[in-house]
C-alpha cells in the first residue's frame, strides 16, 4: 500500500479526496434528505435564496427546490462522470490491450479506428450522437465515452508493448496460458495505473460535456443534473443569477475535486510513471 501512503502525503490529493467524499455523501443522502422527485414543483417560482427557510437556496422558474436539485444533481452528475469515464476506460483498455498484444493487422485496424475517434472533435461527436439517438442518460453517457476512449486505448497499448516482453509474461507463455488469458490476467492489470491517472480528466470532462449538451437542449429531462440547472438558469441570468451560480459552484467543486485527486494520483505514481498527466 505504498501508493495509498504516497497519495495521502500529497496535499492536493487529500483535499480533492475530501471534496469528493463530501459530494458523494451528498449524492447518497439526497433521497433521504429530499425524498421524492427533485423536479417536483414545490413552491412559488423564482423564490430568492436565503429568504424562505423552506427553500434555503430558493426555487427555479417553475418553483422547483434548488437545494434538492443540487443534492440530487450530485447523484446524476457524478453518475454521468463516473459511468462515462468507466465506459471510456473499459473500451480503451480492452481495445488497447488487444491491439498491443495481437499486433499486426488487428493492431493496425484497431489503432486506425482509434485515430478516427480521436481526430473528430469529441463534442461534435457527442452532439451528433445524442441528437440522432435521443437525449437520455444512457445515450449521453455512451456519447461521452465514445468521444473519450481513444486516448486510454493508446496509453494501454503503449504500456502493453513495453511490458509484453518482460519476464513474467514470458513465464506465463511458457506454462501454456492462452494468449488472451495472458493479455487480460497478466498484462492488463499492469497497464492500469497510468490509464487511471487519465480517468480523472475524463470524469471532469464528462460532467462538463453533459452541461454543454444540456445548454444545447440535449439533456435528459427526467433527471436533474447540475449542467441542466445551469443551462436553464442562463435564461434568467440577470433576474435570478443564483439559479446558475449555485449549481455552477457545485460543478466547479466536483471538477476541482476530481482534478486534485488526479494530481494526488500522479504525485504518488510519479517515480514510476516518469511524467505527470
Partner 1 sequence: MKRIAALLRRRAITAVPVLLIVIAATFLLLEHAPGDAVDSYLVSLGGGDAKLAAELRAQYGLDQSGFARFRLYLSALARFDLGWSVAFDRPVIDLVRERLPNTLLLMASATALSFGLGSLLGIAAGARPGSLRDRALSIGALALYAVPGFWLGLVLVLFFSVQLRWLPLAGMETIASGKQGLERALDIARHLVLPVTALGFIYLALFLRVMRSGMAEVWPLDFVLFARSKGLSRTRIVWRHVARNALLPLVTVLGLQAAAMLGGSVVIESVFAIPGFGRLAQEAVSDRDAPLLVGVILTSAVLVILVNLTVDIVYALLDPRIGSGEEGA
Partner 2 sequence: MTVLTLSRRGLLKGAALGLLASTAPIAVMAAAAKGGRLVVAADSEPKNLNPAIVASNGVFYIASKVIEPLAEASYDGKDGLEPRLAVSWEGAQDGRSVTFKLREGVTWHDGKPFTSADVAFSALEVWKKLQNIGRSVFANLETVETPDAATAIFRFSKPTPFQLIRNALPVATSVIPRHLYEGTDIATNPANTRLVGTGPFKFTEYKPGEYYRLTRNEAYWNKQAPLLDEIVYRVLPDRAGAGAALEAEEIQLAAFSAVPLADLARISKVAGIKVISRGYEALTYQLIVEINHRRKELADLKVRQAIAHAIDRKFVVDTIFLGYAAASTGPVPRNAPEFYTADVPTYDFDVAKANALLDEAGYKAGADGKRFSLKLLPAPYFNETRQFGAYLRQALAAIGIDAELVNNDSAAHQKAVYTDHAFDLAVAPPVFRGDPAISTTILVQSGLPAGVGFSNQGGYVSSTLDSIIAKAAETIDTDARTALYKDFQKQVVADLPLINVAEWGFITVARDTVENVPSNPRWAVSNWADTALKG
Cell of 69: 436539485
List residues bridging with 114 in a β-sheet: none
Q: What does the alpha-carbon distance between residue 74 and residue 23 come to, in Å, rounded to a whole number?
A: 7
Whole-Å CA distances, 73 to 32, 112, 258: 14, 37, 16
The verdict on 134 binding partner 2 (CB under 8 A) reads yes
Window 197-226: contact mask with partner 2 (x via CB under 8 A):
--------------------xxxxxx----
Shortest distance (Å) from residue 43 CB to partner 1: 25
Angle at 257 between CA 254 and CA 261, to 5 degrees: 145
Nearest to partner 2 of 105, 132 (CB atom): 132
The verdict on 31 binding partner 2 (CB under 8 A) reads no
Q: What does the alpha-carbon distance between residue 166 and residue 144 come to, in Å, rounded to a whole number?
A: 35
The verdict on 118 binding partner 1 (CB under 8 A) reads yes
Total interface residues for partner 2 by CB under 8 A:
27
Shortest distance (Å) from residue 244 CB to partner 2: 11
Q: What is the DSSP string of 2-46?
A: HHHHHHHHSHHHHHHHHHHHHHHHHHHHHHHHS-S-TTSB-SSTT
The verdict on 137 binding partner 2 (CB under 8 A) reads no
Shortest distance (Å) from residue 47 CB to partner 1: 22
Nearest to partner 2 of 100, 219 (CB atom): 219
Q: What does the alpha-carbon distance between residue 107 and residue 126 come to, in Å, rounded to a whole number?
A: 26
Contacts with partner 1, residue ranges (CB under 8 A)? 12, 107-108, 111-113, 115-116, 118-129, 131-134, 154, 157-158, 161, 204, 208, 211-212, 215-216, 227, 230-231, 234, 237-238, 244, 248, 251-252, 254-256, 259-260, 266, 275-276
Amino acid at each position: 500500500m505504498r501508493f495509498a501512503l504516497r497519495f495521502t502525503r500529497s496535499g492536493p490529493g487529500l483535499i480533492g479526496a475530501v471534496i469528493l467524499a463530501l459530494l458523494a455523501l451528498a449524492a447518497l443522502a439526497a433521497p433521504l434528505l429530499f425524498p421524492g422527485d427533485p423536479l417536483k414543483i414545490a413552491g412559488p417560482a423564482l423564490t430568492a435564496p436565503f429568504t424562505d427557510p423552506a427553500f434555503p437556496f430558493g426555487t427555479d422558474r417553475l418553483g422547483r427546490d434548488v437545494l434538492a436539485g443540487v443534492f440530487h444533481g450530485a447523484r446524476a452528475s457524478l453518475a454521468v462522470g463516473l459511468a462515462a469515464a468507466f465506459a471510456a476506460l473499459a473500451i480503451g483498455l480492452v481495445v488497447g490491450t488487444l491491439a498491443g498484444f495481437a499486433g499486426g493487422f488487428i493492431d493496425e485496424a484497431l489503432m486506425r479506428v482509434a485515430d478516427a475517434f480521436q481526430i473528430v472533435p469529441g463534442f461534435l461527436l457527442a452532439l451528433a450522437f445524442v441528437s440522432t439517438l435521443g437525449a437520455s442518460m444512457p445515450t449521453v453517457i455512451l456519447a461521452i465515452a465514445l468521444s473519450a476512449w481513444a486516448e486510454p486505448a493508446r496509453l494501454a497499448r503503449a504500456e502493453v508493448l513495453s511490458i509484453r516482453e518482460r519476464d513474467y509474461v514470458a513465464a506465463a507463455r511458457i506454462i501454456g496460458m492462452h494468449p488472451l488469458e495472458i493479455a487480460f490476467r497478466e498484462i492488463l492489470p499492469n497497464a492500469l495505473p497510468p490509464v487511471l491517472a487519465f480517468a480523472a480528466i475524463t470524469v471532469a470532462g464528462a460532467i462538463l460535456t453533459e452541461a454543454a449538451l444540456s445548454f444545447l437542449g440535449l439533456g435528459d429531462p427526467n433527471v436533474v443534473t447540475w449542467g441542466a440547472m445551469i443551462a436553464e438558469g442562463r435564461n434568467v441570468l440577470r433576474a435570478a443569477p443564483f439559479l446558475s451560480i449555485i449549481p455552477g459552484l457545485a460543478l466547479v467543486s466536483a471538477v476541482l475535486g476530481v482534478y486534485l485527486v488526479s494530481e494526488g494520483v500522479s504525485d504518488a505514481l510519479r517515480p514510476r510513471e516518469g511524467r505527470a498527466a
